[in-house]
Amino acid sequence: MPRWLPPLIAIILGIALGLIYGWVINPVQFVDTTPDSLRADYRSDYVLMIAEAYHANQDAGIAARRLAVFGSDAPATIAAQALQTGQASGYAASDISLLQELTRAMQAYQPIPAPGNSP
Amino acid sequence: MRRFPWVSLAAVLAGFALGLIYAWVIAPVRYIDTTPNTLRADFKDQFRIAIAASYASTRDLGRAKARLALLGDGDSNQALTAQAQRMLAAGEPFDIVQQVAQLAADLQRGVAQAPPSTTTIATVSARIATQTATAPGSSLEAPTATIDLTASETVSTAGIFDTPTPRPTRTPIPTAGAPYALTKQDTVCNPNLTDGLMQITVVDRNSRQMPGVEIVITWSGGEEHFFTGLKPEIANGYADYIMQAGITYTVRIAGSGTPAPNLTAPACTDSSGQTYTGGLHLIFQQP
């Protein structure tokens, strides 16, 4: 048996042990995740909730802040993605209409700069 | 005698390390396509706020229930109530807290409450008076209008379906300084109410209902804190607590309240002569 074979077998064994440990014995637990990791349909339903609330209060600032939980994308982008998912998933026409309304509002929304941030 | 296979052991460890480097550095785990029940606690709170805000607009209790179920809370009602209390304690806007509390209340009832139009406190006062009506044969007085209320104050204004939600009227803010004191205490013998129900109403010096006021109830070996304003369908300054028979409680308003000691659930008798545990109605007011 060549001399290099036992270490090679040992390395492969080590990798296999690592994978068994990581995938079977102690697999990854999904906890403390963030909204941007949600599956697309859950994301779009979250955005739909915000759209339903926006329809009632017409407060684009609150809607934009709520959409900010999805990360650094622009609120209009997040709303538009949700609209696409909703259309692809066969949402009811009324829900699509709400998402369209929110998307339009976010496209028109101009956040008020915080004091001291203006040039 | 064979030598210990140090080389092979080292190779196994090196392989293990390579596996970890691959898993943690080169191709670390990316959380994608997760479900709402895995969200971090503060994001779950945001999710519940969004559900409540949506519910305030649509009054679709079934949809709200389905969405809450995604969060995997054992008891959605309890989770919402606890969150509302945390939000109040953190000083978050009362109208948002109210939406969360309203959803919790409707979940408990199992029916969507029609969005209340502007309701005067006088109506609420009448409801409290009805709740505290004494049983036939009881020697207790039926409370009269216990709260001197101004017609200008409103309980809540929830969303109207197709029109923008009317802005709620200004919510009174507790004023610091003047301590609240117990100004009225009624025994409530009403078999239709929960046994041992302690109803608390907190009003300011102008008899305006005060939401978001922290109440501390203590008894031998225990203490609990809760807030007014979580049952806006009754009154903004209302809170309640279930007393156990035979336990003596002390209630005070947190911060600057004068304690109301020696409170116990009274024994009442219904029309058929059966004894049951009655309740109390306390009013705290700033002098």
Of B38, B58, B70, the CB nearest to A33: B38
Q: What is the pLDDT of residue B141?
A: 36
Handedness of CA B229, B233, B235, B241 (dihedral sign): negative
For residues B168-191, give the mean pLDDT: 71
Tell me which residue of B132, B112, B114 sits closest to B124, measured CA to CA: B132
Contact (CB<8Å) B12/A34: no
pLDDT in tens, B32-83: 888 999 999 999 999 999 999 999 999 999 999 999 999 999 889 889 988 9
H or E segment at B184? strand B181-188
Distance of alpha carbon B273 from alpha carbon B228, whole angstroms = 35
CB neighbours (10 Å) of residue B205?
11
Contact (CB<8Å) B15/A18: yes
Digitized pLDDT (tens) for each residue of chain A, 119 residues in all: 787 888 888 888 888 888 888 778 887 777 888 898 999 999 999 999 999 999 999 999 999 999 999 988 899 999 999 999 999 999 999 999 999 999 999 999 987 766 554 44
Mean pLDDT of chain B: 76
Give B127's pLDDT tier (boundaries 50, 70, 90).
Answer: very low
Structural domains in chain B, CATH included, are: 36-109 (no CATH), 121-285 (2.60.40.1120)
For residues B170-178, give the mean pLDDT: 53
Beta carbons of B166 and B160 less than 8 angstroms apart: yes
User: For residue A8, what are its two tokens?
Assistant: 């090679």
Contact (CB<8Å) B34/A37: yes
Question: Reduced to 3 states, what is the DSSP secondary structure of residue B160?
Answer: strand
What Rg do the C-alpha atoms of chain A give, in angstroms?
Answer: 24
Q: Which residues contact B187 (CB under 8 A, 6 or more apart)?
A: B140, B266, B268, B278, B279, B280
Task: Please list every residue in chain A whose beta carbon sits closer than 8 Å to the beta carbon of residue B95.
Answer: none
ipTM above 0.90, yes or no: no
Q: What is the pLDDT of residue B69?
A: 94
Q: What is the pLDDT of residue B194?
A: 84
H or E segment at B199? strand B197-203
Bridge partners (DSSP) listed for residue B267: B277
Q: Which position has the higher pLDDT, B165 or A45? A: A45
Contact (CB<8Å) B31/A50: no
Interfacial residues of A (vs B; Cβ cutoff 8 Å): 6-19, 22, 28, 30-35, 37-40, 42, 45-46, 48-50, 52-53, 55-58, 66, 69
Tell me which residue of B89, B98, B82 sits closest to B45, measured CA to CA: B82
Contact (CB<8Å) A50/B160: no
pLDDT in tens, B218-273: 988 888 888 887 777 677 788 889 898 889 999 988 876 778 888 999 999 888 88
Residue from A26, A45, A85, A98 to probe the interface with B (highest B Cβ count within 10 Å): A45
Residues found in chain B: 287
DSSP code for B28: -
